[in-house]
Structure 1
Amino acid sequence: MTSAPRPMTLDEASAHGTRVTLLGTAGGPPWWENSDRSGISTLITVNGAQYLIDCGEGWGPMFRKSGTSTPGFEHGIDELRAVFITHHHSDHTVDYPNLLLLAWHNGSNGLKRPVQIHGPGDRTVLPPIFGQREHQPEVFNPDSPTPGIEESTHRLLQAYATDINDRMRDNAKQDLSEIFEVHDIELPGATGEDPNGDPSPAMEPFEIYADENVRVTAILVDHRPIFPAFAFRFETADGSVVISGDTGVCENLVTLAEGADLLLHECIDLDWVSSLMGPGSPKPDPYLMQHMLAAHTSTDQVGPQAEKAGVKTLVLTHLVPGNTPREKWEEARAGFSGDFYVGEDLMHFGIGTPAPDRAAATVPAALGGQMGRELVGDGRR
């Protein structure tokens, strides 16, 4: 059985067939005072191929700083295979346009195949209005108020039509549709028919992507009222990595993360929330406080959730607020018996056994729906 993943240098991590790099570990839209954490984004590298999860503020520069991108002019994303968006909150997508529009100048000349982009589909109905309001808010973009990733991408590119037409006509750049293929994640069966009821009904993980390196499954998590909100699991020949996305305490997350080698889990500082809206705060609001905490996992909840899933290593990321002192986050190890780390930008983790001792196991090219547990059974408990 391989050892539990731990933080290591890039050189150490590069000896592993699968490695995880935290490009950004801050959650939430604010620019946090006295914090140098970048917006939430994670890179998984498997046999040299790269898989990006979320595009928070600054992911591009952090990608270049991480040492994981191909060096040299116009060689940034040559090895990028796929991008996965957990949900449509802006702190996870604000630098998504950078990926689309700067690809021409940062590696697209060397891409071997189109980059596959997978993200939430159309919510289909507006969320309910929270709290008592004197005036009801107007519906923004009423013709399509809850677009999925396919439509959102199309609209983003339309907004940059001047730049795109100029680059194609003056710089002989290829059509961006030849560089990216965008997919709304389709929920299985009747799952998700009531987004304003239960946003994360009990379900089994379902496959959304597979290639010769990795099989990716998704599950709905509870980040109400945002829907769909996904957690992702990456299965490789070296082991398994789970990205929680934004979620409150959620049984589906436990189902997806069962026995994983590495769980990257969001976390919120309960004391910070209480200082803003709890008893004794300038504007007490117990309902809003409960509403906020239901959509996130607090420092006293994340350890027991990871323990229930039986993961080897728990790493906190998407930290809210981004400027909470590290010692406060350390409290989240309570209730978890595995290895625990507070995530930092540009932290690397190697998964599985490093070369030259690492077995030459590779993921079969034709994964279908059968890969999963039997391939990496030794990495689970």
Structure 2
Amino acid sequence: MCDCIGKALELGMSRRGFLGAGWKLAGAGLPLLMGVPASAAELDVRNQSMAEARSKAQNHDTRLVLLGTAGGPVWWPNCDREGISSAVVVGDAVYVVDCGDGVGKRYKQAELGPINTVSGMTGMENLRGIFLTHLHSDHTIDYFNLFLYGWYDGLTGVKQPVQIYGPGRRGQMEPIFNVPGQKASAPPPVVNPENPTPGTVDMTNYLYQAYALDINDRLRDAHRPDLRNLMQVHDIVIPPINGFRSPNETPVPKMEPFLVHEDERVRVTATLVNHFPIWPAFAFRFDTDDGSVTFSGDTSPCDNLVRLARNTDVLVHEVIDTTWVDALFPPPVGDKEMAFKQHLLSSHTSIDDVGKVAEAAGAKTLVLSHIAPGHAPRANLMRAQRNFSGQLIIGEDLMQVGVGRKRA
């Protein structure tokens, strides 16, 4: 999720609505801002739907497993969702998409690999690949944890290096967001000026350096195998695109999906989506012998995504609840607040629009994930069905969904 959500939260929570008499004005919006714990009845419905979905999914060789379903770099109150992460399971092969907060814990809880209840030091032997849609922290914060902890959770048992794919260097600093009509703010300091827009390979190398003490200790004292032999990291190479000039001028040019990875279990294609100013931001499609599942990544409604997801069995799409955004900025809304509000909404997909995207793509099933806020009311999320004729699933952590044809 774009970092303007943090600024939006700061603006909304610091306004007069939480000072003096303004507290009363904001009171009606507090449930939307802070969330409301689920009732016993709601929990029963959720648990029943998850149990039914898991039971049905076991009849499929290809499964979608939702590891974490919350959006944004926020620990949402009254919410038990972990950070965004999903897995595509094909037979016994596991491919992870995004690595939000808690991905490793959820991976083990989902029992995606062998479980040793005595030592606990198994579970990740079947990890084949990791795919990062973009490099915002809520999608990458536990990326390296999968390896530092995976070292002791079965990762040393992989038969071949885990293939990792993510965005390459942006190559151009993003513009500074300024409120229209107001004086431009002074440029902030540039972090890591020698490489201010690193890609996935860069990020991984920096993380090796950051954890050098720990890694060297494990190598020398515990005789662990070299982590670098357990992973192979790739910056995704974007093919030439007609009309593309630069990330700032043409961040989402019209393009056809392109191949990222293929092995005997899965074919993975990608396209650029609109999460400006973050660039590149990708959507991924996984095709197996059984069916297909497509991940939107973070994006506003995007024609490139519709092309990638054409007739997909399952579309996993991000969503933002605009009633929560409205509660952040109760009227009267000034120019500054309105600018940040529109900036936030321009890089995400609303509940009312997400069904339209799935319908345009011809998706059979729409799964809502990367839900912002993480405590969005289920009744609000169900509005996505109004514009979608297929099956709608409100994603929950550890939910499983069968993909395509059932096992013979």
Normalising by structure 1, we get a TM-score of: 0.89
Aligned partner (choices 46, 64, 68) of residue 24 of structure 1: 68
Counterpart Cα distance in 2 of 1:280 and 1:178? 57
The corresponding residue for 2:295 is: 243
- Amino acid in the other structure paired with 1:336: F
Pair 1:35 & 2:87 matched: no
Query: What secondary structure is seen at the aligned counterpart in 2 of 1:182?
Result: strand
Query: What secondary structure is seen at the aligned counterpart in 1 of 2:149?
Result: helix
The corresponding residue for 2:168 is: 121
Alignment of 1:213-362 (within 5 A): 213-277=265-329, 279-280=331-332, 285-355=337-407, 358=408
Pair 1:63 & 2:104 matched: no
Greater helix share, 1 or 2? 2
The corresponding residue for 1:186 is: 237
Pair 1:147 & 2:198 matched: yes
Counterpart Cα distance in 1 of 2:228 and 2:332? 54
Q: 2:112·2:124 contact (CA, 8 Å) conserved in 1?
A: no
Q: CA RMSD in A?
A: 1.6
Query: What secondary structure is seen at the aligned counterpart in 1 of 2:277?
Result: coil
Per-residue displacement from partner, 1:151-204 (whole Å, max 9, x unpaired)? 100000111111111111111111111000000000001575410112111000
Per-residue displacement from partner, 1:240-286 (whole Å, max 9, x unpaired)? 10000000011001010010000000000111112223643599622
Counterpart Cα distance in 1 of 2:114 and 2:333? 49
The corresponding residue for 1:174 is: 225
Counterpart Cα distance in 2 of 1:215 and 1:34? 38
Query: What secondary structure is seen at the aligned counterpart in 1 of 2:107?
Result: helix
Counterpart Cα distance in 2 of 1:22 and 1:46? 14
The corresponding residue for 2:24 is: none
Structure 2: runs of 5+ lacking an equivalent: 1-48
The corresponding residue for 2:123 is: 76
Q: 1:74·1:108 contact (CA, 8 Å) conserved in 2?
A: no
Q: 1:15·1:354 contact (CA, 8 Å) conserved in 2?
A: yes
- Amino acid in the other structure paired with 1:105: Y
Counterpart Cα distance in 2 of 1:279 and 1:187? 43
Query: What secondary structure is seen at the aligned counterpart in 2 of 1:287?
Result: helix
Q: State the Cα distance separating 1:9 from its structure 2 match.
A: 4.5
Counterpart Cα distance in 2 of 1:58 and 1:324? 20
Normalising by structure 2, we get a TM-score of: 0.83
The corresponding residue for 2:153 is: 106
- CA distance 1:193–1:118, change in 2 (3 Å): farther
- CA distance 1:21–1:122, change in 2 (3 Å): same
Of 270-279 and 50-59, more deviation after overlay is shown by 270-279
- Amino acid in the other structure paired with 1:286: M
Query: What secondary structure is seen at the aligned counterpart in 1 of 2:228?
Result: helix
Query: What secondary structure is seen at the aligned counterpart in 2 of 1:96?
Result: coil
Counterpart Cα distance in 1 of 2:69 and 2:333? 27
Counterpart Cα distance in 2 of 1:119 and 1:278? 38
Q: 2:292·2:404 contact (CA, 8 Å) conserved in 1?
A: no
User: How many pairs align?
Assistant: 351
- Amino acid in the other structure paired with 1:158: Q
Counterpart Cα distance in 2 of 1:184 and 1:88? 12
Counterpart Cα distance in 1 of 2:67 and 2:299? 20
- CA distance 1:123–1:107, change in 2 (3 Å): same
Counterpart Cα distance in 1 of 2:151 and 2:112? 19
Counterpart Cα distance in 1 of 2:267 and 2:197? 28
Structure 1: runs of 5+ lacking an equivalent: 1-5, 359-381
Q: 1:278·1:285 contact (CA, 8 Å) conserved in 2?
A: no
Per-residue displacement from partner, 1:318-350 (whole Å, max 9, x unpaired)? 000001111111111111111111111111001
Per-residue displacement from partner, 1:179-231 (whole Å, max 9, x unpaired)? 00000000001575410112111000000000001000000000000000000
Pair 1:130 & 2:177 matched: yes
Q: 2:112·2:123 contact (CA, 8 Å) conserved in 1?
A: no
Q: State the Cα distance separating 1:74 from its structure 2 match.
A: 2.6
Counterpart Cα distance in 1 of 2:56 and 2:121? 27
Query: What secondary structure is seen at the aligned counterpart in 1 of 2:89?
Result: strand
Q: State the Cα distance separating 1:103 from its structure 2 match.
A: 2.1
Counterpart Cα distance in 2 of 1:74 and 1:89? 30
Counterpart Cα distance in 2 of 1:196 and 1:165? 40
The corresponding residue for 2:38 is: none
The corresponding residue for 2:91 is: 47
- Amino acid in the other structure paired with 2:68: G
- Amino acid in the other structure paired with 1:48: D
Radius of gyration: which is bigger?
2
Of 116-125 and 272-281, more deviation after overlay is shown by 272-281
Counterpart Cα distance in 1 of 2:210 and 2:405? 46
Q: State the Cα distance separating 1:133 from its structure 2 match.
A: 4.5
- Amino acid in the other structure paired with 2:405: T
Q: Percent identical across equivalent pairs?
A: 49
Q: 1:148·1:184 contact (CA, 8 Å) conserved in 2?
A: yes
The corresponding residue for 2:261 is: 209
The corresponding residue for 1:361 is: none
